[in-house]
């Protein structure tokens, strides 16, 4: 009896029944029934993404340019306004913005000094008015009595503040100026204010050497002049 040999062969898939698959980048590309292969590339979507990034970057650049242009316009407007506030003596010979900024700082310091001087004058004038006869020190006939205050000003000069009334016993401005000249002072300004039925004179004077001026003696001379006027009946 012939021996029967059985051989088992592994099954071989039929290429017509199986759909082959190809991997292109990260995409699986099937073959349709007609045998046509459809190729899809991920590079298409990547290129579109790069285009979007380029557009966004260009938009950001345009926005940055607009913001920078607007900022420069605002700074130019502010700079022009600041320059218009400066007196001419703080602008002469200055072309760069940094020079004008330094001039602005100097002008601010000057204004601060002037404010301090005016505040000091105001306080001194109040002292003179409070110590004068404007409110309570009037003579028997109702005339305002004169007073004088002398002090060194902040700029190195001498300031004299006089309060006086009207009439024969009033200390005249001409007499005060005469006494100042006798002491070697150069009068540079005088401001007179009418207040409470009298006059207040603020006199600014300069001197080459302040050590040569005896401020207490000058004040004493003015007081003696006032006393002599008060004795007039």
Query: How far apart are alpha carbons 201 and 51 in whole angstroms?
Result: 82
Span 172-211, pLDDT tens digits: 788 888 888 888 888 888 888 887 767 888 888 888 777 7
Query: How far apart are alpha carbons 108 and 117 in whole angstroms?
Result: 14
Confidence of residue 11 (pLDDT cuts 50, 70, 90): low
Other beta carbons less than 10 A from residue 172's beta carbon:
15
Domain range list for the chain:
17-85, 121-230
The burial class, CB within 10 Å (0-12 / 13-18 / 19+), for 160 is: buried
pLDDT recorded at residue 24 = 45
pLDDT at residue 136 is higher than 70: no
The burial class, CB within 10 Å (0-12 / 13-18 / 19+), for 169 is: buried
pLDDT at residue 78 is higher than 70: yes
Contact 152/210 with Cβ under 8 angstroms? Answer: yes
Span 208-233, pLDDT tens digits: 777 777 888 888 888 888 777 666 55
pLDDT at residue 100 is higher than 60: yes
Cα dihedral 232, 201, 191, 181, rounded to 10, equals 80
Helix or strand or coil: residue 184? coil
Our measurement of the distance from residue 167's CA atom to the centroid of its chain's CA atoms, rounded to an integer in Å, reads 50
**Residues 121-230, CATH architecture:** 2-Layer Sandwich (3.30)
* b (16+ CB within 10 A) / e for 85-114: eeeeebbeeeeeeeebeebbeebeeeeeee
pLDDT recorded at residue 232 = 57
Choose the weakest-confidence range: 84-88, 140-144, 146-150: 140-144
């Amino acid at each position: 009896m012939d021996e029967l040999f059985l051989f088992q062969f592994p099954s071989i898939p039929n290429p017509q029944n199986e759909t082959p698959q190809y991997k292109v980048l990260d995409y699986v590309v099937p073959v349709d029934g007609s045998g046509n292969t459809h190729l899809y590339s991920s590079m298409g979507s990547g290129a579109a993404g790069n285009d979007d990034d380029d557009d966004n970057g260009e938009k950001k650049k345009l926005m940055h340019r607009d913001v920078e242009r607007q900022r420069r316009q605002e700074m130019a407007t502010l700079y022009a306004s600041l320059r218009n506030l400066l007196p001419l003596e703080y602008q002469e010979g200055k072309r760069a913005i940094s020079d004008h900024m330094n001039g602005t700082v100097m002008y601010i310091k000057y204004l601060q000094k002037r404010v301090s001087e005016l505040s000091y004058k105001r306080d001194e004038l109040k002292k003179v008015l409070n110590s004068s006869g404007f409110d309570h020190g009037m003579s028997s006939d109702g005339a305002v009595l004169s007073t004088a205050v002398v002090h060194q000003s902040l700029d190195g000069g001498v300031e004299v503040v006089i309060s006086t009334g009207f009439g024969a016993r009033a200390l005249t401005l001409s007499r005060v100026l005469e006494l100042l000249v006798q002491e070697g002072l150069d009068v540079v300004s005088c401001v007179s204010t009418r207040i409470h039925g009298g006059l207040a004179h603020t006199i600014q004077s300069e001197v080459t050497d302040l050590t040569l001026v005896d401020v207490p003696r000058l004040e004493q001379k003015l007081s003696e002049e006032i006393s002599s006027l008060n004795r007039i009946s």
